[in-house]
């Protein structure tokens, strides 16, 4: 089944150019199927880019999905037109009585701040707590993964000497988990972050299970509550040129940035990226939707607890 998206969402036209089939609300309403309700709390500065990345991956499933976007009342984005936010996003306050089959919480460019100094920390903390009783399974990505682990389990983050930036090899610690069905022994994931969570901190919490790691990038995926929470430190959703854009942006600003590792062909920034993470990314999201959302959510969404 295709993805059921808000009418006129920019991602629709962008993804049609990639031959990805999506469906708008008016057509979906004529199909007698209860779609999976997925909500995205998009904390990234370039909202439309992140929306497109998410839709691209969520569309690769036979399940019909109704996608909604949540925003914070306590934060006004600077890089997305206010008309776009009004058209496609709803404040958490207006959604707090709703229930969803799945939720995705993105990264945010606030790594340099202690959590309590982030201007919207009180509201995002409330959303983290709300998700535990209103969502079947939640994916926390990058900063959200670190913040969620801190909020729910007290896991600290640690500054890195330099940015973890590039494409890194990963392996699976729990190969029989459904989230890894179809994975190769080694797979690749983009990372772009200045902080990390550490194995030794996580091992002190028996409620947490480190299910995937990288020899260079460290802890990649942590599972909790039997798959109702996944904390993912990388950016599997990134499009081929996202790291290229970040690299050239920082170079243009004169910031101390190294070339992303294992990214450009022949380590030459004048050549295109060598894309080798999309197969894993599609499997990750389709496995999550199938095994931890669709097969776990109650038929009556109001029964989610």
Q: How many CB atoms lie within 10 A of CB 61?
A: 21
Tell me, yes or no, if 112 is annotated catalytic.
no
Q: Exposed, middle or buried, 133 (CB in 10 Å: 0-12/13-18/19+)? A: exposed
SS3 call for 95: helix
- Using alpha carbons only, give the angle 15, 20, 22 rounded to the nearest 5 degrees: 85
Catalytic residue among 170, 213, 237, 280: 237
In sign, the C-alpha dihedral spanning 9, 14, 15, 16 is positive
Catalytic residue among 134, 152, 170, 235: 235
Which residue is it, tokens 């993470």? 277
Tell me, yes or no, if 170 is annotated catalytic.
no
| Neighbouring-strand partners of residue 238 | none
Q: From the CA atom positions of the chain, what is the Rg in Å? A: 19
Catalytic residue among 142, 152, 191, 196: 142
Tell me, yes or no, if 126 is annotated catalytic.
no
Positions marked catalytic? 142, 235, 237
């Amino acid at each position: 089944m295709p993805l059921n998206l808000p009418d006129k969402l920019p991602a629709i036209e962008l993804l049609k150019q990639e031959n990805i089939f999506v469906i708008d609300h008016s057509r979906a309403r004529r199909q007698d199927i209860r779609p999976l309700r997925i909500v995205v709390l998009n904390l990234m500065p370039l909202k439309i880019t992140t929306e497109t990345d998410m839709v691209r991956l969520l569309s690769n499933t036979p399940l019909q999905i109704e996608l909604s976007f949540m925003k914070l009342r306590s934060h006004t984005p600077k890089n997305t037109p206010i008309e776009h936010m009004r058209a496609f996003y709803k404040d958490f306050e207006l959604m707090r009585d709703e229930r969803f089959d799945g939720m995705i919480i993105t990264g945010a460019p606030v790594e340099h701040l202690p959590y309590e100094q982030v201007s919207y920390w009180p509201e995002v903390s409330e959303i983290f707590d709300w998700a535990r009783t209103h969502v079947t399974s939640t994916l926390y990505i990058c900063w959200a993964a670190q913040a969620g682990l801190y909020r729910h389990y007290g896991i600290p983050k640690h500054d890195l000497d330099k940015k973890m930036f590039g494409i890194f090899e990963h392996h699976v610690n729990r190969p029989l988990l459904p989230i890894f069905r179809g994975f190769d022994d080694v797979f690749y994931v983009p990372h772009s972050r200045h902080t990390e969570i550490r194995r030794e901190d996580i091992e002190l919490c028996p409620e947490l299970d480190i299910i995937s790691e990288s020899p260079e990038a460290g802890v990649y995926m942590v599972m909790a509550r039997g798959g109702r929470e996944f904390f993912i430190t990388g950016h599997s959703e990134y499009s081929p040129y996202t790291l290229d854009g970040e690299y050239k942006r920082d170079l243009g600003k004169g910031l101390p940035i190294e070339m992303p590792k294992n990214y450009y062909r022949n380590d030459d920034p004048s050549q295109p990226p060598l894309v080798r993470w999309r197969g894993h990314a599609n499997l990750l999201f389709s496995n999550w939707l199938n095994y931890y959302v669709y097969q776990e959510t109650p038929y009556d969404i109001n029964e989610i607890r």
